[in-house]
Structure 1
Amino acid sequence: MTGSKMLVAALTASTFLALPALAQTIGSDRDACNKSEGPAIQANITGLKDRTGRLKLELYPATEEDFLKDDHDLRAENKVFRRVWASMPDEGPVSMCIKVPEPGTYALFFTHDRDHRNKFNFWKDGAGVPGNGKLGRSKPDLSQAIVKVGSGVTVVNIRVQYLRGLGGFGPID
């Protein structure tokens, strides 16, 4: 191999190695996003505080009355509700997938369950919605959680927020 071919090969290899790692699509619905079998939502998760615990993505009706309502109540009323859990990957970008019953408007909520208790721990756990506005000290506004889903895979970005002192929840960076 000539010197110029070696240089081209080295530059090509270094360019390839510099590319960011692909997000791992996780959760029981991952095939819906990996195979583009919508309707589904792919939530790209950023701002994780650490790699402890597990991750949860929940789908709600897009109404004030139903957003973050108890899942038992929603199911008893025959309303849309879906929950996907995923183990925390050891490294790399994270992407979760959740199927939706049909194209339409929904509310989406993400939780980083750091202590594995399946109950939101205000002091430890993180939360996020697609709107990515600062959550503060109260329940997220429905407007921040709205996702319009078509017949394919709708991609949203969620930046996780954690308790940041008296100001409430906010991103860690």
Structure 2
Amino acid sequence: MRALLLPAGLLLVAAAPIPSTPDLGKAEGQCRANESGPAFLVNPVGMKDRTGNLKIEVYPATKKDFLQDDNILVMEGKTFSRVEVPASSSTPICIRVPRAGTYAVSVLHDRDKNRKFGWKVDGIGFSSNPKLGWGKPNVKHVATRAGSSPTSIDVVMNYRSGLGVAPLKR
């Protein structure tokens, strides 16, 4: 840690950065057997197939924090939870949240297992199922409420469609 002395005798302590790892948020997101506390039970709807992995992440429902780098959220002590499971897993998928409240949930169908969204291959969906354009959706269209016990949500998955992404036509 580094300490800086600012005018008026204020002491600022800069914490050492948290190393980047795909495991950030997993301990916070892992549900217990028969989870009874605040959590989302996420049901991905309209998946293209069952290849690869599903990555579910929970963010604060604020413009600044929605889809923010996980290291930054953890360093700032903000909510960030992650669960990764094989896409062949049974649904719904449980992900814990620290307390009842409003959050933003993302679901990545990582078909090529490279741990990042590739719009030509992978699927993406968000809580409250906003219509997707070229950028990330507005957090006010994604925000959803978790109750004091597990809350079920359906997340419609979107895949490449022309030059954008949209739910699959069945």
TM-score by length of 1: 0.76
**Whole-Å Cα distance in 1 between the matches of residues 39 and 74 of structure 2?**
20
Equivalent residue number for residue 65 of structure 1: 64
2:128 and 2:144 in contact (8 A); partners too: no
Equivalent residue number for residue 56 of structure 1: 55
Query: Post-superposition shift, 1:29?
Result: 3.2
Letter in 1 for 2:30: D
**Whole-Å Cα distance in 2 between the matches of residues 58 and 144 of structure 1?**
16
2:130 and 2:142 in contact (8 A); partners too: no
Query: Post-superposition shift, 1:59?
Result: 0.5
Query: Post-superposition shift, 1:133?
Result: 2.6
Q: State how many pairs are aligned.
A: 141
Equivalent residue number for residue 89 of structure 1: 88
1:131 and 1:143 in contact (8 A); partners too: no
Identical columns (%)? 43
1:59 and 1:80 in contact (8 A); partners too: yes
Bigger Cα Rg: 1
**Whole-Å Cα distance in 1 between the matches of residues 167 and 32 of structure 2?**
29
Superposed CA RMSD in Å reads: 1.6
Structure 2: gaps spanning 5 or more residues:
1-28
Runs of 4+ in structure 1 displaced over 2 angstroms? 28-32
1:30 and 1:96 in contact (8 A); partners too: no
Equivalent residue number for residue 100 of structure 2: 103
Query: Post-superposition shift, 1:36?
Result: 4.3
2:43 and 2:91 in contact (8 A); partners too: yes
Structure 1: gaps spanning 5 or more residues:
1-27
Equivalent residue number for residue 12 of structure 1: none
Letter in 1 for 2:121: K
**Whole-Å Cα distance in 1 between the matches of residues 119 and 51 of structure 2?**
16
| Cα 1:152–1:49 shift into 2, 3 Å | same
Equivalent residue number for residue 157 of structure 2: 160
Query: Post-superposition shift, 1:105?
Result: 1.0
Q: Deviations over 1:64-117 (max 9, x none)?
A: 000000001111111110110001217xx6311100001111111110000000
